[in-house]
Each structure stands twice: as C-alpha cells, then as structure tokens.
Amino acid sequence: MKVATHQLRCTECGARISGNAVNSIFRCPTCNGLYDVIYPWSSLSEGEPLPAGSKQPNPSALRWLWQERRSSTLGIDQSGVWRFRDLLPIVEDSNVVTLREGNTPLYELPRAGRALGLDSVLAKHQGMNPTGSFKDTGMTAALSVARERGFEWVACASTGNTSAAMAAYAARAGMRSIVFIPEGKIAWGKLSQSMDYGALTIQLKTDFDGCVNVLTDLVTRFPIMLLNSVNPYRLEGQKTPAFEMLEQLEWQVPEHVIVPGGNLANGSALAKGFAEMHHLGLISRIPKISIIQAEGANPLYRSLQENGGEELIPVKANTRATAIRIGNPASWRKALRALRTTGGWCEQVSEQEIALAKAQIGSEGIGCEPASAVTLAGLKKLVAQGKIGREERVVLILTGHTLKDSNYTIDYHRGELFTAEENAQISASDEALHTSLRKPPIVLEADTDTVFRALEEQMKLVHA
Ligand code: F0G
C-alpha cells in the first residue's frame, strides 16, 4: 500500500510548500511559524477531493498490514516506526536508517494506580528504545529524510537525549553529526553516548536555549540539516507511539495520555498521531493529552496562567530534571494546539514531587529518568483536582531510561539530592514515603555474622 508524497503546511498561516522547498531553519518565511507534514489523505479541507492517483488508506487494511509486518524479518518491518510507513513521508527503502526503534512495552503500574484510586495506570516506556529515549522514533524518520536529501552533516542542540539519538543514527547512516550541549548541565550517560557514537560534541558555556541560538545561525550558513524538533520530520516518527499504543490496547482508546514538556514538541507529535488515526477511522475518539512541566522550567504553564496562552513567557530554566531544563521552548504553539484540540491540561510539579514519583516508578520495577517522572507527579495533581476519574484509563509516556541519569538516582537514595533548606520543606507524610522508598547501599565488613545481623535488622523493618 503506497500513498503519494507529502507537503509541509505552516501551522500559523496555513501556507503549503513542497518538502524540498523548506528553508534550513524549518520556519515559514512569511510568518516564522513551524510546519506540519501533511499528506494527500490528511490535508483535505471539508469536501476537497483527493488528488488524482492517491487513495485514502483503508483502516482495516492498515491494521492487518501493520500486524503482518511484525512477523517479517526485514529491518523496515521490524522497526516500530517504519512498520507504520503508510502514514509517513515516503523514503526510498534503501535510505531508511533504522536501529529497530519503537516496539516499546506498555506496562501496568498497579501500585501507582491503587495509591491514586484509579483502575488503570499504564506506562508506555519510550526509554526502551535503542539509545534509551523516545527521541529514536523521531530520529529514524528525520535522519532518513536527511540521507534522502543528500546531506552529509546533521546537527542539534540538546539537553542530552536528542544528541544521543542523533549521533547513533548518523553513525549508522555513515553521516557526520555535531552536537551542541549546555556545559555541565546534562546527565553523564547522555554525554557519553554522543562521544561513543562518534559525534563532534561541543559543550557551550550557556544553557539549552543559548545552544539553539548558535545552532540556528550555523545551519543558515552551512549545508547541515537541523535535527531539533522544529524539524517536522522528527515529529512524524514521534507520532508512531500513538499507533503502537492503540495496537497494544486492542484499539480501545485510553481517556488520558500524559507527557513531560520541555521543548514542547512531543505532546503535539502524539496528538497528530491520534488525530490522523481518528481521521482515517482507525479510532472513534481522541484521548486528552496533558503536558507536565517542572516548576523551575514552566514557560507554558506560566503563560497559560498569566495570559491564557496568548504569548510565551520565557523563563530562566532550572530543574534537576535536566532533560526538560528549557526556558524558551520552540514548539509552544504546537503544544498549546494539542492541549486545546484534545481537551488536556498543563500542570507544573516541584522538584520534590518529581523525585518521589521517580522513586515510585522505580519501585514498580520499571524506572525512568527524572524528566519522565513528571508524568506520574502531574497525574497525582490532576486526580487531586478531580480532572481524572477512577474508571478512566491513563497512559503515562515515560520518555527516558533510568540509566540515563544514574547520578540523580544515587543521590536520591543516599539522601543527598536536596539541600537542607529543601529537605526542611518536605511534609511529614511525604518524608515517610521517601523513607520507605529510599534504598541506600549498606557498607559492611565481609563477614557472614555481620551480614546476617544486618539482614535480620532489615527483615524486622519489613515486618514492623
Ligand atoms: N523527556 C525527556 C527524557 C527528554 O529528553 C525531553 C526532551 C523531554 C521529555 C521533553 O520533550 O522537548 O518534546 O517537550 N529532550 C530534548 C533533548 C530537549 O535535547 O534531548 P519535548
């Protein structure tokens, strides 16, 4: 099943251009808006006929085909992104750069569900991708387009996960990659990945937002493809977990999907995936998508509170969830549209709430990086506000693997994450929860009796 090629549509002024005509910063020259990828089957306004030669994909045929490809041994079929290629920009098979991304698990979080009084809390773990984050689904799509268009160099500014993914996919494609990261403000696991995969890694003495400014200048002067999430092809890959989630739920649509918000592209990518499935008749309604920010990096939350989302209020970002330490997010208007079209909410959560939620996800045997844990922390707030009811099914998008930022986890369990001042602000009930979750390593003499006595102590604690 082949569908005709795509166009890009400006999300602000609606101008349509061919994919090849886009400028190096992926912004509309008329209004500076960002683009969406549209297809003959998705671009139609009411009553507009399909272009000659193109066909509306048939929902039953798509479901069957996507299922069939699971048993194929071809790389593009085994990829949890390219398995859905009927709804992606057409790329010659030989240009597809894949590490068999996607195909990530959907886990139950029964303890979190019970604690919140909800029947079903699920976690779609995008940290189970080849480089350990959801960025792989977007990178396979954008890197394949870069290869098809003959680029030799690709680049991104990153808080660490985009750069890890880009470096890996560029290496697979035999292309060169340049990474700009804020010096000293990314997790070591992520920094080590970009070096391991052979990227030219440049630490700039600025924050993420400063890195974006330098990179934007650079790509207008040199033939380098920009791979930040303003690149709309990234989002085409990042919409596919929505398809996969629905397959995993046997096409029963959950009521809520909750994502972390940083540069604010991922919520809109998933919203696009759901909207396209709805448009094609694969699903009968769309879940509410909610976006959660860290209190110290909350430009969207603030803007909604202070001006109803009219203008973005950039902030000087600061949070230990370094992945989402972003004060001037590029895709905030797209995120706003996702909130409005799906009926979801934007919330903010504190450093303490993030740490507690991360430990709770870890204690279910799943784990995630700090930025991903904002989803559970945000869910708690939405439930407390009465916005999510007991029977409504919730899917948290866990965006990164727990090993991405092991320093955070170790500091938490050793009780060294927070300052004395922050610790003094923790409520007695939260402190009790933290105490039950913290599992610092115990150092003992290498002697059986000593170890046995220590174990007895632990067992008493468990049975107390
Ligand atoms: N979670 C993780 C683990 C991330 O790495 C990011 C973004 C987000 C959530 C937020 O997604 O930007 O689409 O709102 N990381 C980017 C990076 C900025 O450079 O790796 P978003």
The residue contributing the CA closest to ligand 1 atom 11 is: 262
Contact, 3 vs 41, CB < 8 A? yes
**Going by C-beta distance under 8 Å and a sequence separation of 6 or more, which residues neighbour residue 322?**
159, 160, 185, 186, 187, 370, 371, 405
Q: From the alpha carbon of 161, which atom of ligand 1 is closest?
A: 20
pLDDT above 60 (res 1): no
pLDDT at 352 over 50: yes
Q: Which CATH class is domain 106-132+235-437?
A: alpha beta
Identify which of 142, 137, 151, 114 has the alpha carbon closest to the alpha carbon of residue 363.
114
Return the residue matching tokens 């560029």.
170
Question: Does any ligand 1 atom lie closer than 6 A to the CB of residue 268?
Answer: no
Query: pLDDT class for 91, splitting at 50, 70, 90?
Result: confident
Does the structure show a pLDDT above 70 at 44? no
Q: Which numbered atom of ligand 1 lies nearest the CA of 400?
A: 3
Ligand 1 atom with the shortest distance to the CA of 261:
14
Residue 446 has a pLDDT of 96
Q: What pLDDT sits at residue 54? A: 72
Q: Are 232 and 8 in contact (CB under 8 A)?
A: yes
Task: Locate 353 and state its tokens.
Answer: 């709430």
Q: Whole-angstrom Cα distance, residue 291 to residue 401?
A: 19
pLDDT in tens, 203-219: 999 999 999 999 999 99
- The response to whether residue 260 sits with its C-beta less than 6 Å from ligand 1 reads yes
pLDDT at 46 over 80: no
* 274-326 residue pLDDT tens: 999 999 999 999 999 999 999 999 999 999 999 999 999 999 999 999 999 99
Q: How far is the CA of 262 from the centre of ligand 1 (A)?
A: 5
Alpha-carbon separation of residue 365 from 108, 129, 258, 360, 362 (angstroms): 11, 17, 20, 9, 5
Tell me if 299 CB under 6 Å of ligand 1: no
Mean pLDDT throughout 159-172?
A: 98
Predicted local confidence at residue 43, as pLDDT: 61
Q: Can you give the residue ranges of every domain in the chain?
A: 106-132+235-437
Ligand 1 pocket residue status of 266, Cβ below 6 Å: yes
The DSSP string of 417-446 is SS-HHHHHTS-HHHHHHHHHH--------S
Ligand 1 in contact with 232 (CB < 6 A)? no
On the question of pLDDT at 461 being above 60, the answer is yes
Task: Judge whether 339 and 346 are in contact, CB under 8 Å.
Answer: yes
DSSP output for 246-292: HHHTTTPPPSEEEEE-SSS-HHHHHHHHHHHHHHHTS-SS--EEEEE
- Which atom of ligand 1 is nearest to 265's Cα? 13
Ligand 1 center to residue 284 CA distance, Å?
29
CB contact at 8 A, 375 and 344: no
* DSSP-assigned beta bridge partners for residue 17: 8
Closest CA to 234 of 377, 326, 334, 375: 334
pLDDT at 2: 44
Residue 324 CB less than 6 A away from ligand 1: yes
- Quick one: which H or E segment has residue 372? helix 370-384
375 CB less than 6 Å from ligand 1?
Answer: no
Mean pLDDT computed over every residue of the chain: 95
Distance from residue 331's CA to the centre of ligand 1 (Å): 12
Confidence of residue 5 (pLDDT cuts 50, 70, 90): confident
Per-residue pLDDT, 45: 57
Predicted confidence at residue 458, as pLDDT, reads 86
Q: Quick one: average pLDDT of 159-178?
A: 98
**DSSP β-bridge partners for residue 176:** 153
At 3 the pLDDT is: 43
pLDDT digits (tens, 9 = 90+) for 47-72: 666 777 777 899 999 999 999 999 99
pTM over 0.85? The answer is: yes
